[in-house]
Amino acid sequence: MTNMEKIDIITPVEKAVKLLSKAGLDFFDVYAAYSRGLTIEILGKGIKESMSRTDLGLGVRAYKNKGLGVAFSQSLKAEDIETTAHRAATFASVAQPDPYFKGIPAPSKAAKVKGLVDPEVAALTLEEVGGCAKKMIRAVEAVRRGAMYQGGLGTGHSRGFLMTSEGVSVEAEKTSVSASVGPTYRRGDDVGSSYEYDYGITLKEIDFEKIGRQAAEKAVEQFGSKRVESGTMPIILTPDSSSSLIFALLGAISGESVAKGRTFASGCLGKQVAPSVLSVVDDGTVPGAIASGAFDGEGVPRRRVEVISKGTVKTFLHNYYSAGILGAESTGHAVRGGYGGYVGTGPTNVQVKPGDSTLDEMVAETKAGILATNMGFTPNDVSGELSTTVDEGFLIEDGEKKHPVKNLMVGGHMLELYKDIELVSKEGRTVGKGFFFPNIKLKQIKLAGK
Amino acid sequence: MSVVQKGKKAGAKFCEVRFFEEKTKYISIENGVAKSMSSGILHGVGVRVIIGGRWGFASTNVTTKPSVETALKDAIGGAKSIAAQRGEEAKIVDQKAVVDMVVHKPKVDPNDVSEEEKMKRMLEIEKAARTYSERVKDTFVSYREVLTRVVVANSFGTVVEETTPRTAVYCSVISKEGANMQTGFKGVGNVAGYELVEAIKPEKFSVKAAETAVKLLDASPPPRGTYTVVVDPDVGGLFVHEAFGHNSEGDLVFGGQSIISGKMGQKVASDLVSVWDDPTVQKNGHFVYDHEGTKAEPHPIIDRGTLVGYLHSLESAAKLGGKPQGSARAQNQHFQPIIRMSNTFFAAGDMSLEEVLEDVKVGVFLSGSQYGYVETQKGQFTCKAEQGWLIEKGELTEHLRDVAINGLTLDALKNVTAVAKDLRIEMPGMCGKSGQGMYVDAGSPHMRFEGVVVGGRR
- Write the DSSP assignment of B357-398 as a string of letters: HHT-SEEEEEEEEEEEEEETTTTEEEEEEEEEEEEETTEEEE
> How many other β-carbons are positioned within 10 Å of the β-carbon of residue A79?
8
Task: State whether residue B338 is helix, strand or coil.
Answer: strand
| Interface size, chain A vs chain B, as Cβ–Cβ contacts under 8 Å | 277
Q: Do A387 and B384 touch (CB under 8 A)?
A: yes
pLDDT per residue, tens digit, chain B (458 aa), is 799 999 999 999 999 999 999 999 999 999 999 999 999 999 999 999 999 999 999 999 988 888 899 899 999 999 998 887 778 999 999 999 999 999 999 999 999 999 999 999 999 999 999 999 999 999 999 999 999 999 999 999 999 999 999 999 999 999 999 999 999 999 999 999 999 999 999 999 999 999 999 999 999 988 888 999 999 999 999 999 999 999 999 999 999 999 999 999 999 999 999 999 999 999 999 999 999 999 999 999 999 999 999 999 999 999 999 999 999 999 999 999 999 999 999 999 999 999 999 999 999 999 999 988 888 888 889 999 999 999 999 999 999 998 999 899 999 999 999 999 999 999 999 999 999 999 999 999 999 999 999 987 77
Listed residues A190, A220, A250: the one ending a domain: A220
Same domain for A191 and A244, yes or no, is no
Q: Which of B70, B90, B224 is the closest to A2 by Cβ?
A: B70
Residue A271 lies in a domain: yes
Burial A88-114 (b: 16+ CB within 10 A, else e): bbbbbbbbbebebbeebbeeeebeebe
Contact (CB, 8 A) for A30 and A298: no
| A34: nearest CA partner in chain B | B61
Q: Do B251 and A43 touch (CB under 8 A)?
A: yes
Contact (CB, 8 A) for B290 and B274: no
Residue A434 lies in a domain: yes
Is-above-0.90 flag for pTM? Answer: yes
Most B-contacting residue of A31, A34, A45, A54 (CB-CB within 10 A), to test interface: A54
For chain A, how many structural domains are there in total?
2
Q: Do B453 and A407 touch (CB under 8 A)?
A: yes
Listed residues A200, A220, A240: the one ending a domain: A220
Distance between CA A9 and CA A162 in Å, rounded? 10
pLDDT of residue B84: 77
Does position A258 have pLDDT exceeding 60, yes or no? yes
**Short-list A156, A179, A170, A225, CA closest to A47:** A179
Does position A400 have pLDDT exceeding 50, yes or no? yes
> How many other β-carbons are positioned within 10 Å of the β-carbon of residue B204?
9
Percent of chain A scored above 90 by pLDDT? 95
Q: In Å, how far from its chain's centre is CA B326?
A: 15
Distance between CA A265 and CA A445 in Å, rounded? 20
Backbone dihedral angles phi then psi of residue A247, each to the nearest 5 degrees: -60, -35
Q: Cβ contacts (< 8 Å) between A42 and chain B: which residues?
A: 87
Same domain for A242 and A160, yes or no, is no
What residues of chain A, 378 to 397, have a C-beta less than 8 Å from chain B? Answer: 378, 380, 382-383, 385-389, 391
Same domain for A235 and A196, yes or no, is no
Average pLDDT over residues A418-433: 98
Distance between CA B67 and CA B31 in Å, rounded? 46
Distance between CA A168 and CA A27 in Å, rounded? 12
- At the topology level, CATH places domain B3-216 in PmbA/TldD fold (3.30.2290)
Same domain for A161 and A254, yes or no, is no
Q: Which of B255, B378, B408 is the closest to A44 by Cβ?
A: B255
For residue A79, the 8-state DSSP code is H
Q: Give yes or no for B454 touching A (CB within 8 A).
A: yes
Q: Give yes or no for A317 touching B (CB within 8 A).
A: no
Q: Containing H/E element for A437?
A: strand A435-448
**Short-list A109, A115, A434, A170, CA closest to A304:** A434
pLDDT of residue A265: 97
Q: Do B377 and A150 touch (CB under 8 A)?
A: yes
Q: Band of the pLDDT at A4, cuts 50, 70, 90?
A: low
Digit-coded pLDDT (tens) for A125-183: 998 999 999 999 999 999 999 999 999 999 999 999 999 999 999 999 999 999 999 99
Strand partners, B128: none
Query: Distance from A95 to chain B by nearest Cα, in Å?
Result: 5
Query: Distance from A339 to chain B by nearest Cα, in Å?
Result: 10
**Short-list A97, A437, A38, CA closest to A240:** A437
Q: Do A378 and B33 touch (CB under 8 A)?
A: no
Q: Give yes or no for B111 touching A (CB within 8 A).
A: no
Contact (CB, 8 A) for A438 and A426: yes
Give the CA angle between residues A173, A177, A180 to the nearest 5°: 150
Same domain for A369 and A444, yes or no, is yes
Q: Do A47 and B408 touch (CB under 8 A)?
A: no
Q: Give yes or no for A321 touching B (CB within 8 A).
A: no
Digit-coded pLDDT (tens) for B131-177: 999 999 999 999 999 999 999 999 999 999 999 999 999 999 999 99
| B53: nearest CA partner in chain A | A48
Strand partners, B42: B22
pLDDT of residue A2: 44
Q: Which of B82, B180, B375 is the closest to A130 by Cβ?
A: B82
Q: Give yes or no for B24 touching A (CB within 8 A).
A: no
Average pLDDT over residues A196-222: 97
Distance between CA A440 and CA B231 in Å, rounded? 36
Q: Classify residue B8 by burial, with Cβ atoms within 10 Å: 0-12, 13-18, 19+.
A: middle
Q: Do A56 and B62 touch (CB under 8 A)?
A: yes
Q: Give yes or no for B451 touching A (CB within 8 A).
A: no
Same domain for A194 and A277, yes or no, is no
Q: Give yes or no for B432 touching A (CB within 8 A).
A: no
Structural domain for A101, as ranges: 10-220
| B70: nearest CA partner in chain A | A2
Q: Do B37 and A94 touch (CB under 8 A)?
A: yes
Same domain for A429 and A290, yes or no, is yes
Q: Which of B44, B57, B88 is the closest to A47 by Cβ?
A: B88
Same domain for A275 and A371, yes or no, is yes
Q: Do A53 and B334 touch (CB under 8 A)?
A: yes
Q: Classify residue B6 by burial, with Cβ atoms within 10 Å: 0-12, 13-18, 19+.
A: middle
Distance between CA A235 and CA A380 in Å, rounded? 21
Q: Cβ contacts (< 8 Å) between A41 and chain B: which residues?
A: 434
Residue type, A191: V
Residue A3 lies in a domain: no
* First and final C-alpha spacing in chain B: 69
Q: What's chain A's average pLDDT?
A: 95
pLDDT of residue B455: 86
Same domain for A71 and A130, yes or no, is yes
Residue A48 lies in a domain: yes
* First and final C-alpha spacing in chain A: 55
Q: Give yes or no for B456 touching A (CB within 8 A).
A: yes
Dihedral angle, C-alpha A197, A202, A204, A207, nearest 10 °: 0
Q: Give yes or no for A220 touching B (CB within 8 A).
A: no
**Short-list A271, A277, A233, A266, CA closest to A412:** A233
Query: Distance from B301 to chain A by nearest Cα, in Å?
Result: 21
What are the structural domain ranges in chain B?
3-216, 225-455
Same domain for A202 and A306, yes or no, is no
Same domain for A165 and A94, yes or no, is yes
Most B-contacting residue of A49, A136, A222 (CB-CB within 10 A), to test interface: A49
Does position A3 have pLDDT exceeding 70, yes or no? no
Q: Do B455 and A49 touch (CB under 8 A)?
A: no
Query: Distance from B358 to chain A by nearest Cα, in Å?
Result: 24
Residue A2 lies in a domain: no
Q: Cβ contacts (< 8 Å) between B127 and chain A: which residues?
A: none
Q: Could you tell me how many helices (H) and strands (E) chain A has, helices first? A: 10, 20
Helix, strand, coil percentages for chain A (3-state, nearest 5): 25, 40, 35
Contact (CB, 8 A) for B292 and B154: yes
Q: Which of B61, B453, B454 is the closest to A57 by Cβ?
A: B61
For residue B88, the 8-state DSSP code is -
Percent of chain A scored above 70 by pLDDT? 99
Same domain for A340 and A275, yes or no, is yes
**Short-list B207, B199, B182, CA closest to B125:** B207
Listed residues A161, A194, A220: the one ending a domain: A220
Does position A76 have pLDDT exceeding 50, yes or no? yes
Does position A252 have pLDDT exceeding 90, yes or no? yes
pLDDT of residue B87: 87
Does position A408 have pLDDT exceeding 80, yes or no? yes
